[in-house]
Amino acid sequence: MKHIFLATAFCTLFASNAFAGSMSDGWAGEASLSGSTTSGNTKTTDIGLALHLSKEDGPWKSKFDTTYDLGKSNGIDTKNRWYIGYQLDRKLNERWYAYGNMNYYSDDFGAYKQGSFIGSGLGYKLFQSDPISWALESGIGYRSQKLREIGIIPSRKTGEFAVRGASDFGYKFSDSVSFYNKSEVIWSDSDTYLWNDTGITATLAGNLAARFSFRVDHHTDVPFGVKKTDTVTRGALVYTLK
């Protein structure tokens, strides 16, 4: 609970400063509120909060992301997951860029209680003009994960070298309707983690939009009795900061 409180306070402060100063300091992005149904290790109805911000300054680009998902069933917590990540890109030419990134997550009900990654690599923009945008990334880094204690199976923490790959695809059907597909894979000796997030966004009025999305999270190595794959189907209201 302490970590969640600190995370919420930090994200609220960061968002307030970014939103308040967006016109002068170059931050842009979106905040969203969602409701979802899940299957896999948890089956529940829950709510989600997300904040995605980016800022370009010459050849540099900063990207900040945080999400928080909370679920209850019959008054009992069934989902409590927080994620925060930051990436800094350095443009090399019109298509290539170097990046450094770090992220952390805490999940009370997933296969892994918590995890973090810090690394760097190269990115390449295959398409960067409307209606298509598509960037691929590959890199290396250090990964730490802690297995959730289940029954008589004790918790175990690992820290090791990891390889990362990512894809970020977008397509604009019109000025008001767009599609995205984002994926990331992190491979290490103890586990390979893959997630994919696909969604479609439609403008309702002004900066307000509606979004429908589907996400899959998959771990190759989990404790006995724990499912390897979780899915989330979301409907969300999105406020865009321009």
**How much is the pLDDT for 42?**
64
pTM for this entry: 0.84
CATH number of the CATH domain containing 11: 2.40.160.40
Over residues 195-200, the mean pLDDT reads 98
pLDDT at 43 over 60: yes
Per-residue pLDDT reduced to its tens digit, 93-118: 999 999 999 999 999 888 888 999 99
pLDDT at 35 over 70: yes
Mean pLDDT computed over every residue of the chain: 87
Higher pLDDT, 170 or 156: 170
Higher pLDDT, 221 or 18: 221
Residues of the chain above pLDDT 70, percent: 85
pLDDT at 6 over 70: no
Per-residue pLDDT reduced to its tens digit, 51-80: 999 999 999 999 999 999 988 877 788 789
- The structural domain count of the chain equals 1
Per-residue pLDDT reduced to its tens digit, 78-89: 789 999 999 999
Q: Which structural domain, as residue segments, surrounds residue 45?
A: 2-241
Per-residue pLDDT reduced to its tens digit, 142-164: 999 998 776 666 678 899 999 99
**How much is the pLDDT for 13?**
47
Four-CA torsion 130, 184, 26, 67, nearest 10 degrees: 120
Look-up: residue for tokens 């479609």? 200
